[in-house]
C-alpha cells in the first residue's frame, strides 16, 4: 500500500465508510477496501462527462462526481473493472450509469482572493453594501462576499450566485473601474450587482430583463445593462461584450454584470 500510494502513509488515508473520499488517493483506498485488485495502482479523477469510469494499464479514471457516490456505486465500480463474468460487469455498469452525476454537488471552486493592498476598498464596499441594503432592500439582502478584481478588464462588476457545492455568492468589482471612473461610478455598479443579488435571493432569473429594469429604477440607478461611464480622461469606450448566464455590469459597451 505504501508503494502504491507513492510513499504516503496508508494509515493516514484510511477512511471509515461514513467518510466521503475527497481525493483520488482516498477513493483508491475506498475501492481497495471493496476488493479492487492491486493491479490498479493509480486512480485519476476526470471531469469528462462522457466517460464515467475507464481503465487502461494500471490506471483507473473516474469522473470526480463519483467521490460522493454511495457505497454500492463504489462497489459496482470494482465489479465493473474486475468482475468475473460479463453479466456481472454489465450489471455493475448499469449501477454506475444510474448514479446521477449532475445532481452530485459541484466541487467547491476556489475563489480568487482580493489582494492585501485592495482590502481597504473591500471594507469601504462592505459599508456601502450595508447602507444600500438598508436604504433600498429593507435590509433583506444577505451578507455577500465582496471582492476587488485586478483581472476584470471589460467588465465593471460581476455578481456570482452561490453554488450547491458551498461556494458563497460574491460581488466582484474591477480595480481598474475604480481607478478609471472613481467611487461614484463604482457605487453605481455595486448597486447594479445588488439588484442581481436581490434577483437571485428572491428566486428570480438573474438577467437584465423587465424585472431588473423596474428594480433598478426603484433604487435610482441606470436601468440598462450597459451604461456610459465617464472616465477621468473622457468617456470610456469599450466594445460590447456578450451577456453570459451569470450577470455582469458594463459601461456604454462596458458591462456591470
Nearer to Zn ion, 5 or 257 (CB): 257
Cα 251–Cα 145–Cα 115 angle in degrees, nearest 5: 80
Minimum CB–partner distance for residue 35 and Zn ion (Å): 52
* CB 95 to Zn ion: min, Å: 44
Residue number, 26 or 254, with CB nearest to Zn ion: 254
**Cα–Cα distance measured from residue 195 to residue 189, given in angstroms and rounded to the nearest whole number:** 10
Helix (H, G, I), strand (E, B) or coil at 105: coil
Give least dist CB 198 to Zn ion, A: 12
Residue nearer to Zn ion on the CB measure, 25 or 193: 193
The DSSP call for residue 254 is B
State the residues that interact with Zn ion by CB under 5 A.
247, 249, 257
Q: Which is nearer to Zn ion, 95 or 169 (CB)?
A: 169
159, 247 contact by CB (below 8 A)? yes
Q: Give the shortest CB-207-to-Zn ion separation in angstroms.
A: 8
Comparison of 96 and 190: residue with beta carbon closer to Zn ion: 190
What is the CA 74 to chain-centroid distance, rounded? 26
State the nearest-atom distance from the C-beta of 249 to Zn ion, in Å: 4
For the bound state, the minimum distance from the C-beta of residue 197 to Zn ion, rounded and expressed in Å, comes to 11
Phi–psi pair at 54, nearest 5 degrees: -145, 165
- Please give the Cα distance from 171 to 147 (Å, whole number): 6
Helix (H, G, I), strand (E, B) or coil at 234: strand
Q: Which is nearer to Zn ion, 96 or 148 (CB)?
A: 148
Burial class (CB in 10 A: 0-12, 13-18, 19+), 31: buried
Run of H or E residues at 74? helix 71-82
Amino acid at each position: 500500500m505504501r508503494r502504491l500510494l507513492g510513499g504516503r502513509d496508508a494509515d493516514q488515508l484510511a477512511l471509515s465508510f461514513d467518510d466521503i473520499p475527497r481525493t483520488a488517493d482516498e477513493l483508491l483506498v475506498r475501492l481497495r477496501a471493496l476488493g479492487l485488485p492491486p493491479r490498479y495502482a493509480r486512480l485519476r479523477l476526470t471531469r469528462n462527462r462522457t466517460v464515467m469510469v475507464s481503465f487502461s494499464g494500471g490506471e483507473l479514471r473516474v469522473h470526480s462526481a463519483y467521490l460522493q457516490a454511495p457505497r454500492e456505486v463504489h462497489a459496482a465500480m470494482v465489479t465493473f473493472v474486475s468482475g468475473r463474468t460479463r453479466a456481472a460487469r454489465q450489471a455493475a455498469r448499469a449501477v454506475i450509469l444510474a448514479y446521477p452525476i449532475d445532481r452530485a454537488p459541484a466541487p467547491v471552486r476556489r475563489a480568487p482572493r482580493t489582494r492585501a493592498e485592495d482590502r481597504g476598498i473591500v471594507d469601504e464596499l462592505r459599508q456601502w453594501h450595508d447602507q444600500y441594503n438598508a436604504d433600498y432592500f429593507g435590509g433583506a439582502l444577505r451578507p455577500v462576499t465582496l471582492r476587488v478584481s485586478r483581472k476584470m478588464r471589460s467588465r465593471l462588476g460581476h455578481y456570482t450566485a452561490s453554488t450547491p457545492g458551498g461556494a458563497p455568492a460574491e460581488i466582484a468589482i474591477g480595480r481598474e473601474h475604480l481607478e478609471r471612473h472613481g467611487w461614484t461610478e463604482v457605487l453605481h455598479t455595486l448597486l447594479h450587482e445588488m439588484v442581481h443579488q436581490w434577483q437571485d435571493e428572491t428566486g428570480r432569473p438573474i438577467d437584465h430583463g423587465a424585472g431588473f429594469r423596474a428594480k433598478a429604477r426603484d433604487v435610482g440607478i441606470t436601468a440598462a445593462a450597459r451604461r456610459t461611464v465617464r472616465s477621468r480622461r473622457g468617456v470610456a469606450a469599450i466594445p460590447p461584450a456578450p451577456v453570459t448566464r451569470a450577470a455582469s455590469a458594463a459601461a456604454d459597451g462596458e458591462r456591470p454584470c
